[in-house]
Structure 1
Amino acid sequence: MIRTLWLLLFVVVIYSCKESSKQEQSTTTKPIAEVFAEFYEFKKSINPIEATKAGFSEYNDTIANYISNDYILHLKDRYTYFLEELGQYNAANVSAADYMSMRVMQWDCTVKLEGVMNPIVTVASPIYDLPNFELMPLFQIQSLHLYVAQLAGGTSVQPFKSIEDYNNWLGRLEDYLVFLDTSIEKMKIGMDQGVVPPKVLTLKMLPQIQSFIDVPLEENLFYQPIMNFPDGLSDVDMDILQSNYEDFIQEKLTPKYVELNQFLTEIYLPACRNTDGLLDLPNGKETYQYLIKLHTTTNMNADEIHELGLSEVARISKEMEAVKNEIGFKGDLKSFFNSLRNKKELMPFSKPEQVIESFNAINDRIALRIDSLFALTPKAGFNVRRTEAFREASASAEYVPGSKDGSRAGIFYVPIPDVKSYNMVHDEALFLHEAIPGHHFQLSLQQENNNLPEFLHPESMGVFVEGWALYAESLGKELGIYIDLYQYFGMLSMEMHRAIRLVVDTGIHAKGWSREKAIQYSLDNEAESEESIIAEIERYMATPGQALSYKIGQLKIRELRTKAEEALGDKFNIREFHSQILDSGSLPLVLLEEKITNWIVAKNKL
């Protein structure tokens, strides 16, 4: 059972800072900036791929074996250490900005330490930095084997510009082989303890592994950097690198994938379960409650979130009904969903390049109005790019931030597995979410903000990051788009999609819903294709709680905007409000609400 000890620790740490006497900082206490810097070095070391993504090169040859026992014990030690360090500071001996950053760090350390301290069992993901969920290390989505493959092609965040870069990648892959070995060991332990994923998810993973086995060397994704050497390498250097990559792929990597594939197919798959949610695993209920806290930064429970989701689905359905009637469709809403899935006018593309061009045109239109809502805009650029072929069949659209120094632009990835069936009904809302003013704005501004300690520059609190992006979708009319009723309906559909997540995620993991029941609920309430819905439901099965963050965060930001508009009246300025939201990095919702409340009070005093 998850105990309240570490939650209590969090409360004590935070509020002891407020209640402590106004003492001068001890001369033996190091500047808080040094603690922040030390914490960031720790964060980079435990997730070196994220360090690479942020533009730091010192970890380019490393992958953390985040499911190993040594790694987990290291986290326990370091999170405890940093909480002890932060206990020496309070609101009186640091600046207001540093105090806010300190509290974000305290929240992060406390909730992660709670995960490490309690032997709860659920999925593992390097993205969420939860290493003690190690017995199911591989899934069909958001799994390290997919992330490594994305880096391997040479067009993502892993650099391939020099001999050192090429050698760094081989070093990183050596660590990856160790991770795969550990994964097999942990999955065997999981089998003994009854901690295994749903069989349907393992089945979806098998083709991903097989795609790296039955492929000619020249077509192997891991060989593509050799097919695309940068300028400036000598013939001798290229020959050596080519030989090294061929040897590694043929003698180490491919045999490891063969071994993994055989294990998954012959041993693991038969042991996987036929149930779908966390309730069917040891400590499943407690695990899910922890994940709710982690991903929403609230103390809401599954029942509360489920009811909120049902309420939001009902509200959005009414607005959808009104738009459907304005369009002139005579059938019911479900019939309208079906008509949108097959409407030829919404599938006008014959080449993938046309989809990319369409998104660039949306960008041009938004650029005309963006200054009316935002005083803060990022310096970094971004590109719209098609998702790589090896993963686009099961991928969602996504944004990958550019490097901190601006040398690599952000990338908005769009999956186009079948261009002739690509439906553009969501494209305007999707652009607002992933690019401008969604993820590209928020994440770029965050890492460009020199007033923040560096540990707050990378992507962090999902409830803030995704909540902002979903809020950004609602700004379309203010930005001069959603003129087409179908595109506005597409925005409602995307909001509905996130409201449905509150229902089905809690349904699967807290109320015993089957995969099929969740799929049917989605089909009944949104316009997504059945294929897309199945992929989404299976994503929620693999990553419990993560999908809750979008709507919970969006509702809080919208609530705070309404609160500010009502409290400030004529003093309210939307550009200032958005700056307040975006200029402190990604915050837990309790801290975001406190910040906006204080801003309202200060504005009213002027």
Structure 2
Amino acid sequence: MKKIITLIVIAICFSACKKDKETIENTQTVNKTPKNDTFDLVLSNYYETSLKQNPLNATSAGDSRFNDRLPNFLSDDYAKQIKAFYQKYKTKMNSFSDNELSPSQQLSKEILNWECDIILQGLSFNEDLMPINQMWTLQLTIGQLASGSSSQPFNTIEDYKNWLKRIDGYLLWMNSAEEKMKEGIDRGYVLPESLIVKVLPQLKALTTANMDEHLFYNPIKNFPERFPEKDKAKLAELYESKIKNEIAPAYKKLYDFMSTTYLKHGRTTSGVSDLPNGLEYYSHQIKKYTTTSMTADEIHQLGLKEVARILSEMEAVKKQVGFEGDIIAFFDFVRTNKELMPYDNPKSVIDNFNEIHNTMKPQIEKLFDLKPRTAFEVRRTEAFREASASAEYNPGALDGSRPGIFYTPIPDAKTYNVFADEALFLHEAIPGHHFQISLQQENKDLPDFRKTLWYSSYGEGWALYCESLGKELGLYTDPYQYFGMLSMEMHRAIRLVVDTGIHTKGWSREKAIKYSLENEAESEASIISEIERYMANPGQALSYKIGQLKILELRAKAEKELGDKFDIAQFHNQVLESGCIPLALLETKIDNWIASIN
């Protein structure tokens, strides 16, 4: 999920006796103070300018005005522009006193101040000197867009021309990426060797001049039927020329550099503590992704505690199914059990996820008042990134023109293990990311800039919390699926240990892999991919468990203090209706809700 991370909160208060579902709106903010129109105009201008500065965000949101643009995010001019932009809006926010703003506007002021601070702080850590990795960076985003199956539209002649113009910006970025990596070599900012080798096949696949094999030619293979033949022929000529003369050579140039000079200088260490100011950078990443002031050591110790707790629950499942070996042998048994690999084609995997959805639909009505209007689909991850991708959710367009999509990689259907599919669907799809993100986007009472905000601690915490709802939703009747849920939770608990271990305690990639293999049932290939993910984006993996534990804590508190007055659907309304908010503000909101009922 690649979104601007920001603090948001809406003060909400329900009457204790107001239970009629017909009265529930996507937001129930009560605000009696008139809004300051000048302040709202500043928020609107902020959002509009931010879309122009990062037009990929506009495209992702379904705003097509800037589909032909792609600034060079790595240029010095762009860095100066971004710094000036956030400094400007920080000054603007502080030019308004709180007493001239409505309560919700005061919160927006607080949000934007935090946004400016966290981004300005991040600019000092030279992330631009390591612009490419195997999991998160622009070459992968562009690959998705180029495939024609993501947010970049290919519905009109103009759409096809817009993409060619956008590619011009991408070609400039590719050249800058090489220059930045050369600077990174000189200044001590280089990827670990183990990550560089994972990038190389991604680049090499796009050096081909064979149009039948080139990802960027996919839109030409899938013209809308209504296009005139003359236009199809002209566009095909333009795309073939662009690929042969510019795109493929650019990929070859970047591949040649990364496979020789850059690989030669790749780090043998795994964590960012070996980079200049690495520990300070990691502290920044913790704050950014968890929205807490927790230290790396606090998180590491919490992770060890959670691993031990979940391991004891796994032992109970092992006993239930009658497995007599130790837990590590049981992990291996689950990983390799052919009965848990029942499919021989990708469609069967997709069909299974859709059946999971159908099974829980009746219970969804009981647990959730708020449900999104945005359509939803399950799709196989695109082939060009499938080998190194994890299952993920891509949000729908703000205007409803594109559904929310749950992507799942199926590199080999015959070895695809289903034991965690129910928990995976609850997390990535429904009621996890699809409910939370779609409801936020559909909320007409939120300012535009807040509809696409993303706090990993809240968003991923919510999704992990949703995994615990399986039994309430009619799932986990198979002990292996319940073990799958425990495995997913264990996976996130392990992240607290290995992410902090890699980046602050000198853990090697191999030590982190070994620790994971000893404590979870994921395949070795999957674990390797995950560990390398943490190496590529320090701190992001911490957000899941930190957020989940807070939501579980708040639910338990509400159940205890409200007793018979507790309504699970109302609790979920409280958590969902405001969109992503930081954990401290979520806690305040739930406390206020409990007090309003008591």
Normalising by structure 1, report the TM-score: 0.91
**C-alpha separation between the residues in 2 aligned to 1:365 and 1:225?**
36
Does structure 1 residue 212 correspond to structure 2 residue 206?
Answer: yes
Where do residues 418-433 of structure 1 align in structure 2 (5 Å cutoff)?
418-433=412-427
Contact 2:378 2:406 in 1 (8 A): yes
**C-alpha separation between the residues in 1 aligned to 2:46 and 2:562?**
38
2:150 to 139, 156, 180: 156
Where do residues 342-357 of structure 1 align in structure 2 (5 Å cutoff)?
342-357=336-351
Contact 1:101 1:452 in 2 (8 A): no
Q: CA 1:92 to 1:328, structure 2 compared with 1: closer, same or farther past 3 Å?
A: farther
**C-alpha separation between the residues in 1 aligned to 2:521 and 2:97?**
50
Contact 1:443 1:459 in 2 (8 A): no
Structure 1 window deviating more from structure 2 (392-401 vs 594-603): it is 594-603
1:113 to 113, 120, 141: 120
Please list the CA deviations of residues 378-408 of structure 1 after superposition, one character each: whole Å capped at 9, or x if unmatched: 0011110000111111100001011111111
1:460 aligned residue:
454
2:3 aligned residue:
none
- The letter of the residue matching 1:153 is S
Q: CA deviation at 1:105?
A: 2.4
Does structure 1 residue 242 correspond to structure 2 residue 247?
Answer: no
1:61 to 51, 54, 68: 68
Does structure 1 residue 450 correspond to structure 2 residue 450?
Answer: no
Q: SS in structure 2 opposite 1:527?
A: coil
Q: CA 1:99 to 1:562, structure 2 compared with 1: closer, same or farther past 3 Å?
A: farther
1:5 aligned residue:
none
**C-alpha separation between the residues in 1 aligned to 2:502 and 2:46?**
36
2:533 aligned residue:
539
Q: CA 1:480 to 1:101, structure 2 compared with 1: closer, same or farther past 3 Å?
A: farther
1:379 aligned residue:
373
Q: CA deviation at 1:591?
A: 1.7
Q: CA deviation at 1:120?
A: 2.3
- The letter of the residue matching 2:550 is K
**C-alpha separation between the residues in 2 aligned to 1:112 and 1:600?**
34
Contact 2:209 2:244 in 1 (8 A): no
- The letter of the residue matching 2:50 is K
Where do residues 168-247 of structure 1 align in structure 2 (5 Å cutoff)?
168-214=162-208, 216-247=210-241
**C-alpha separation between the residues in 2 aligned to 1:338 and 1:508?**
25
Contact 2:396 2:438 in 1 (8 A): yes
1:251 aligned residue:
245
Q: SS in structure 2 opposite 1:493?
A: helix
- The letter of the residue matching 1:53 is S
Contact 1:61 1:171 in 2 (8 A): yes
- The letter of the residue matching 2:568 is I
Please list the CA deviations of residues 201-258 of structure 1 after superposition, one character each: whole Å capped at 9, or x if unmatched: 1011111100011362122110011111012211121111111111110111111111
Q: Work out the percentage of aligned pairs sharing the same amino acid.
A: 55
**C-alpha separation between the residues in 1 aligned to 2:363 and 2:34?**
47
Structure 1 window deviating more from structure 2 (547-556 vs 591-600): it is 591-600
Q: SS in structure 2 opposite 1:399?
A: strand
2:521 to 520, 527, 533: 527
Q: CA 1:260 to 1:220, structure 2 compared with 1: closer, same or farther past 3 Å?
A: same
Q: Runs of 4+ in structure 1 displaced over 6 angstroms?
A: none
**C-alpha separation between the residues in 1 aligned to 2:361 and 2:96?**
43
Contact 1:53 1:157 in 2 (8 A): yes
Contact 1:470 1:495 in 2 (8 A): yes
2:356 aligned residue:
362
**C-alpha separation between the residues in 2 aligned to 1:460 and 1:305?**
21
- The letter of the residue matching 1:260 is L
Q: SS in structure 2 opposite 1:406?
A: coil
1:518 aligned residue:
512
| Structure 1, unaligned runs of 5 or more | 1-9, 11-23, 122-132
Q: SS in structure 2 opposite 1:218?
A: coil
Q: CA 1:106 to 1:603, structure 2 compared with 1: closer, same or farther past 3 Å?
A: farther
**C-alpha separation between the residues in 2 aligned to 1:538 and 1:250?**
32
1:38 aligned residue:
45
1:391 aligned residue:
385
2:278 aligned residue:
284
Contact 1:540 1:547 in 2 (8 A): yes
1:478 aligned residue:
472
2:85 aligned residue:
78
2:259 aligned residue:
265
Contact 1:76 1:113 in 2 (8 A): yes
Structure 1 window deviating more from structure 2 (531-540 vs 580-589): it is 580-589
**C-alpha separation between the residues in 1 aligned to 2:423 and 2:106?**
36
Q: CA deviation at 1:91?
A: 5.0
**C-alpha separation between the residues in 2 aligned to 1:215 and 1:582?**
48
Q: CA deviation at 1:39?
A: 2.0
Q: SS in structure 1 opposite 2:378?
A: strand
Q: CA deviation at 1:459?
A: 4.7
**C-alpha separation between the residues in 2 aligned to 1:337 and 1:268?**
38
Q: SS in structure 2 opposite 1:513?
A: coil
Q: SS in structure 2 opposite 1:385?
A: strand
1:404 aligned residue:
398
Q: SS in structure 2 opposite 1:150?
A: helix
1:128 aligned residue:
none
Pairwise CA RMSD of aligned residues?
A: 1.6
**C-alpha separation between the residues in 1 aligned to 2:476 and 2:374?**
26
Contact 1:482 1:488 in 2 (8 A): yes
Q: SS in structure 1 opposite 2:379?
A: strand
1:96 aligned residue:
103
Contact 2:393 2:433 in 1 (8 A): yes
Contact 1:288 1:544 in 2 (8 A): yes
Q: CA 1:442 to 1:25, structure 2 compared with 1: closer, same or farther past 3 Å?
A: closer
Does structure 1 residue 47 correspond to structure 2 residue 54?
Answer: yes
- The letter of the residue matching 2:201 is P
Q: CA deviation at 1:83?
A: 1.7
Please list the CA deviations of residues 544-577 of structure 1 after superposition, one character each: whole Å capped at 9, or x if unmatched: 0011111111111111111222222222211111
Q: CA deviation at 1:68?
A: 1.9
Contact 2:181 2:190 in 1 (8 A): yes
Contact 1:104 1:588 in 2 (8 A): no
Q: CA deviation at 1:97?
A: 3.2
- The letter of the residue matching 1:331 is G
Contact 1:297 1:463 in 2 (8 A): yes
Structure 1 window deviating more from structure 2 (496-505 vs 449-458): it is 449-458
Please list the CA deviations of residues 392-431 of structure 1 after superposition, one character each: whole Å capped at 9, or x if unmatched: 1110000101111111111110100010000000100000
1:506 to 500, 505, 520: 500
**C-alpha separation between the residues in 2 aligned to 1:218 and 1:66?**
31
1:416 aligned residue:
410
2:18 aligned residue:
none
**C-alpha separation between the residues in 2 aligned to 1:90 and 1:325?**
62
Q: CA deviation at 1:266?
A: 2.0
Q: SS in structure 2 opposite 1:276?
A: coil
Contact 1:382 1:410 in 2 (8 A): yes
Normalising by structure 2, report the TM-score: 0.92
| Structure 2, unaligned runs of 5 or more | 1-6, 8-32
2:569 aligned residue:
575
Q: How many correspondences in the alignment?
A: 567
Contact 1:493 1:527 in 2 (8 A): yes
Structure 1 window deviating more from structure 2 (291-300 vs 262-271): it is 262-271
Q: SS in structure 1 opposite 2:212?
A: helix
Greater RCO structure (CA 8 Å; 6+ sep): 2
- The letter of the residue matching 1:120 is F
Q: CA deviation at 1:94?
A: 3.2
- The letter of the residue matching 1:138 is I
Where do residues 548-559 of structure 1 align in structure 2 (5 Å cutoff)?
548-559=542-553
Does structure 1 residue 147 correspond to structure 2 residue 154?
Answer: no
